A and B are shown apart, each in its own frame.
Chain A
Amino acid sequence: MSAIFPKWTNKLPLMIIIGGTLTAGAVTAGVWYYFTPKYFRVGYQPIQPVAFSHATHAGQLGIDCRYCHSAVEKSWFSNIPSSSTCMNCHNQVLKDDPRLALVRESAATGKPIPWVQIHRVPDFVYFNHAVHVNRGISCVECHGRVDQMEEVYHAKPLSMSFCLDCHNNPASKVRPVDKITDLSWTPSEDPNEAAKRQEAFGKKFVHDFRVESMNNCSACHR
């Protein structure tokens, strides 16, 4: 009697198990690795209602970040400037430029400009801008080279492990407080020298200014 099932089918269960395990493993690994903020959020660059160029304002013109984001040193929230702040200059410069129509309208009527939010941590994270910028953490650490961005995009993952990298080792990121908004600042032009100087400076900063590595849950979650 000829077999209904060929002989290789004996191995079928084993193949299914191995194949299934491999597939499941691959899917899990894929999700694990790729479904992270590093892949899902970095690069997010929505179209903003006004084509505001940070590269022009912060980069070319060298306006300090805090001219517009004035609350960053005082509040957990770094404010988006009110339209009247824009008009401080733009009532002189590019007075009638059509690209600024929305800003002029907003400043006149008080109607807010609906900027699209790019950087955002989840609601259960209580991030505080003020404490970071007052204690030697530059804007660039989380926001990237905004001074080179025509249109702002999400440059860093802002995931929990991203936060913890620095929180576990604050010495690696701290810099003199007066260099906070100088996004291009490095301890030295030479990368090797920069690393060396950063290490020395970081160690001193952490020691002298009593920086504790805030890696307890309660630092960010309440």
Chain B
Amino acid sequence: MKNPPAPDRQLQSGRVYWRGLEQLSETPEFKEFLEREFPANSDDFSDPVSRRHFVKIMSASLALAGIGLGATGCRRPEDKLMPFGKAPENYIHGTAQYFATAMPTRSGAIPLVAKSYEGRPIKLEGNPLFPGGNGGTDRFAQASILNLYDPDRAMRFAKGAGGERAVATASEATDFLDGQARKFSANQGQGLAILVEQTHSPSRERLRQEITKKLPQAKWYTYDAVDTGIYQRAASQAFGKSVRPIFHYDAADTILSLDCDFLGNEDEAFSSIRKFTSRRKITSPKDKLNRLYSVESLFTVTGMNADHRLRVPASTVLSVTAAIAAELGITVGNLAATANSPVDSKWISECAKDLKASAGKALVVVGVGQPLVAHLLAAAINEKLGAIGKTLALVEAPAVISVGLSELAQSLNRGEVETLAILGGNPVHNAPADLNWAATQRKAKTVVRLGYYEDETGEQADWHFPETHYLESWSDARANDGTLVPIQPLIAPLFGGVTDLEFLSRLAGLTELNPNRIVRTTFASLTGDASEAAWNKFLHDGFAPGSALKTVSASVVSSVVSAAVQRANSVTVGKDNLEVVLYRDAKVDDGRFANNGWLQELPDPVTKITWDNAVLVSRKTARELGVQNNEVVEVSIGDRKVVGPIWTQPGMADFSLGMAIGYGRRKAGRVGVGAGFDAYPLLSTQTGYIATSAKVRRLGHKYPISCTQTHWSMEGRAIVREANLDQFRTHPDFAQRMNAPEAPDESPMYPNPLDDPKRRSKLHQWGMAIDLNTCVGCGACVLACQAENNIPIVGKDLVARGREMQWMRIDRYFSASSKEHTWGQWFNDETYKRDQDQQFNEWIDNVQAVNQPMLCQHCEAAPCENVCPVNATVHDGEGLNVMVYNRCVGTRYCSNNCPYKVRRYNYLDYNKRPLSELKGPFYATALLHSTDDEWDLKRWWRDPESGMRSEQEWDLIRMLKNPDVTVRMRGVMEKCTFCVQRIEAAKIAQKIKAGESGDVVVPDGVIKTACEQACPAGAIVFGNTLDPKSRVSQLKEQQRNYTVLDFLKTKPRITYLAKVRNPNPAMPDYTAPFTFEEFELKNGNPFTHGDSETSSHSGAKINEGAL
């Protein structure tokens, strides 16, 4: 065997080799030169002659290496490949790993699958294995990954409140906790108060029991600004035992929502949406639909999707509940008297009749903000309707901590609390104002806080412990139905935080401090299986099968309900007695997500406001009060007041002021501070979320609000098409009939590159179908897209300029009945009103709303492609309209020519902007700004990529990015890619599997776009249209299938399935969908026109033949 030659030592003396030099080095002259000029003896360097010599030689070799150096300059910098010293098992670099975990919520948990790339979690999806799950998630789950990498999260142990705050080491902090543990062990916990948030973690419950055993004198309190515990409290009272209700919307034919936004802001909305929409999926006119009645004051997501909506002030909802109950034969005393309310008694009686008709399949739900008596009444109604055990399951629920913040405040005021431990929560910001919590809290000798942010509560605490993110923690939870789910860490705590389990154990001096072992012990005791295999399966699947809570049968204790009804009294609101409705925000929740830029920039599902909350009023209220949009008012109840801008919300109840809580954070981080106003001062223990006798005072100035959809009406265009169920049954092709009449010139405006069969793939042609009947407009898809595709946020000011970057938006249109209003004239007369004048139009009083997800339609004959001067947007063979970022020079012609307005342009380098710059309108320049105490211009000179963000932030930002998607820079156009990275990954995986075979077609359902995967309703379906059996082909076969802006003949790959409403013909407010009436007014009745006949704009009769 030939031995390998020894490595050529001479070669190692140069840095970079080059074919020319390498050849040169073979010449004897050069070898000699090298040998002479690079003496091995380092002593020579101290010799002056040699040193001079050395310098001379160095310059010579530099000159020689000039070509090489030049080449290095042109070539990319030298990179190192660092393989493992010892490779970990089952890890393949470059492939993602998936782990089951769960995101804890107030009333359960969202089972998740986290995608981890190189050890960093980058995307969360719902767990499809979970019983009944479909992989859908909600907005908060999608956005929570951003919190993990939030540069403003608590990163240190700190001691000393307020100005005395100092950084403590982890060992100092644990020493302190150990000291507390010793102290309280000695006195059985006397003087220890523990304030926790609502949670359904069995491990924490077990710890609580253990701690109570060890420290019987320690007191536990629970507080949450959104009190979802009311459901369990109400059910336990009404049924006389500790039970929790679970609503089976999928089993209900008729649902009455009493101020309950179960599709929007209620907890567990993602699963409610899935259950509710499972009954709205139709394939043929014979299918049945469920029916939703909604009684509410705010316009909510639930109201938008209701078949009948009654707008009444929130404080009147109790009267409506009572009236319905009375119709069903429940004694309600005087409560049902609605003499002064504008409620149509026929509405009530017909609704009650419909509920009764579907007895056993009816369900009544009451909102979280409503008083307990309304919940008790609803329980009685549900029992009357035979809902218990069918649409409403009662599960055995362990008793929860029943004492709250008021009791804790009393205890504090009495000076009984020595150490107050606050786990999570943020009572200084969100406690009811009458508790004066900031001052009350200080009455404890020591306040210890475990918090994710050093927020308002944290800065007032004597000790602050950084809490771990749920993706960094070992914990567990029970999902809404009680199924046990694990919360397992995807990454070690980034900033050395502690989990709540660890914190509690240490505080109480328990022996087991390791959260992993705490959770394992709980798991073993709950399932009775301590084996490694059971635990591993639990972690792998993400749930313990069969661990759901037991359902029990129970009957309503009528004396409890009637006693509560006796105590309650009805309220009438009016101009002099305005009502304030405080509601959980769709984006920042109770304020906990205030520092999450994705959520802040997500348009509210109903108002489409970003970065702010507002005082929502109806048109009539605004007129009575003499206020208009953006006008800042002071709303006061007694001596408590808040200041915020007015926003006219179509469809709001009159004399009701809606305000989202969670904004106006004083100390939230750079994103959250300065967004919106704080509505908590109007929250009190007496009135709860719905308070009356509010006064409004105009302050005479305006406040800018960034709203992404300023135009409310479709003006009769057939963008969203809908019909009632009976219209659909008589004309199943109604959506097609609403197509524009064929233009005389039938040739499309733009060529279709796929007309050339050579360019067309014969394996895959991608398409998407979006079912408007099941889309509720929640917005989870928008955030899923943002997370998947590395989409930056732009900030409030730039949103106002229409520069938001979300690839997907949900268009929400309001429509009004043509019978009630004369608004129809303004589009017939062609006297269009300005957007800001819509708020004064009378038609917005009683509106319906429709939602439509709008994203790149992937037109085959794409208008954008034809105007791009540099071919930066082109078609691929599988029907994708692709953007080539490297070619784009930013002319924005494509965006101008896009009829759907779905292209997004990077006006700035959004990733490089400092977080403090998100509110505008003035932006820092590199000339006057410094980052990390270094002048930005100097920084730029050192590293042009550094931007205005500190090195530490960059580390976090980079961790979040999806490595499969290019991060776009300034001056580049971008848009929906149909998640091309997922398509290619699936195709590659299929080809690898195929190897030497022809089985390269990706099976249906393997590729899910980010929006599709996140959609809790399953409204978005993506797939291969060449496969006639694929779900998307089946949907496109339906007669409801239509194309937006069909008359442009752009041949979009995305089609929509028209919406079908299911109103009750017996109801007084039964009409054709308002959008249909608008369409009819403008284009004539689509049902009376033949297919060839052209419609005319005049002489159309309303509703003719429609019903």
Contact = CB atoms under 8 A, between A and B. Distances in A.
Contacts of A218: 876, 878, 880, 882, 977, 980, 983-984
Given A45-B17, A222-B981, A75 B92 contact: yes
Interface in A41-85: 41-47, 51, 53, 55-56, 60, 71, 73-77, 79-85
B800 interface: no
Given A46-B17, A47-B12, A150-B5, A79 B878 contact: no
Given A47-B12, A124-B885, A82 B92 contact: no
A77 B94 contact: yes
Interface in A125-162: 126, 128, 130-131, 134-136, 150-151
A84 B85 contact: yes
Interface in B1-30: 1-2, 4-5, 7, 11-12, 14-19, 22
A195 interface: no
B966 interface: yes
Contact of B93 (A79, A83, A110, A221): A79
Interface stretch (B71-79, B158-166, B327-335, B1007-1015): B71-79
Main DSSP-derived SS at the B contact region: loop
User: Residue among A41, A43, A177 with the most chain B CB within 10 A?
Assistant: A43
A113 interface: yes
Contacts of B93: 71, 75, 77, 79
A106 interface: yes
Interface in A64-117: 71, 73-77, 79-85, 99, 106-117
B886 A124 contact: yes
A137 to B, nearest CB: 11
Contacts of A45: 17, 22
Interface in B708-761: 761
Contacts of A109: 85
B965 interface: yes
Interface string B55-87: 000000000000000010011101111111111
A210 interface: yes
Contacts of B80: 114-117
Contacts of B996: 136, 176-177, 209
B82 A112 contact: yes
A60 B2 contact: yes
Contacts of A209: 994, 996-998, 1000
Contact of B4 (A56, A110, A123, A135): A56
Contacts of A74: 92, 95, 992
Contacts of A110: 84-86
A112 B876 contact: no
Nearest to B884: A217
A222 B82 contact: no
Contacts of B12: 47
A57 B983 CA distance: 38
A126 B992 contact: no
Contacts of A193: none
B993 to A, nearest CB: 8
B267 to A, nearest CB: 36
User: Residue among B11, B92, B964, B983 with the most chain A CB within 10 A?
Assistant: B92
A128 B886 contact: no
Contacts of B95: 74-75
Contacts of A7: none
A120 interface: yes
A14 B76 CA distance: 41
B74 A116 contact: no
B991 A216 contact: no
A71 B90 CA distance: 11
A183 to B, nearest CB: 18
A99 B1082 CA distance: 85
A185 interface: no
Nearest to A45: B17
A208 interface: yes
A75 B94 contact: yes
Contact of B86 (A82, A115, A117, A136): A82
A135 B74 contact: no
B4 to A, nearest CB: 4
A115 B82 CA distance: 6
B859 to A, nearest CB: 16
B957 interface: no
Given A75-B92, A217-B884, A221-B884, A112 B984 contact: no
B984 A46 contact: no
A168 B447 CA distance: 70
Contacts of B2: 60
Given A53-B4, A106-B85, A212-B763, A135 B965 contact: no
Contacts of A135: 991-992, 994-995
B885 A84 contact: no
Interface in B187-208: none
Main DSSP-derived SS at the A contact region: loop
User: Residue among B75, B84, B93, B981 with the most chain A CB within 10 A?
Assistant: B84
Contacts of B878: 216, 218
Given A71-B93, A130-B988, A177 B995 contact: yes
Contacts of A24: none
A116 B981 contact: no
Contacts of B289: none
A150 B3 CA distance: 12
A58 to B, nearest CB: 12
A55 B878 CA distance: 43
B869 to A, nearest CB: 17
B427 interface: no
Contacts of B71: 40
A85 B85 CA distance: 9
A109 B86 CA distance: 9
A219 interface: yes
B874 interface: yes
B877 interface: yes
B988 A113 contact: no
A35 interface: yes
A157 to B, nearest CB: 13
B122 to A, nearest CB: 15
A120 B966 contact: no
A150 B85 contact: no
Contacts of A117: 78-81
Given A75-B92, A116-B78, A216-B877, A134 B19 contact: no
B83 A83 contact: yes
Nearest to B9: A51
A114 B977 contact: no
A43 B19 contact: yes
Contacts of A177: 995-996
Interface of A: 35, 40-47, 51, 53, 55-56, 60, 71, 73-77, 79-85, 99, 106-117, 120, 123-124, 126, 128, 130-131, 134-136, 150-151, 176-177, 208-210, 212, 216-219, 221-222
Given A43-B17, A115-B82, 16 more contacts: A40-B75, A44-B16, A46-B16, A46-B17, A47-B14, A47-B15, A51-B7, A75-B95, A99-B7, A111-B85, A113-B82, A116-B78, A130-B992, A212-B761, A218-B980, A222-B965
16 contacts: A41-B75, A43-B18, A47-B15, A71-B93, A71-B94, A73-B992, A79-B94, A99-B7, A109-B85, A110-B86, A114-B80, A124-B966, A135-B991, A150-B5, A212-B761, A222-B980
Interface of B: 1-2, 4-5, 7, 11-12, 14-19, 22, 71, 74-76, 78-87, 92-95, 761-763, 874, 876-878, 880, 882, 884-886, 964-966, 977, 980-981, 983-984, 988, 991-992, 994-998, 1000
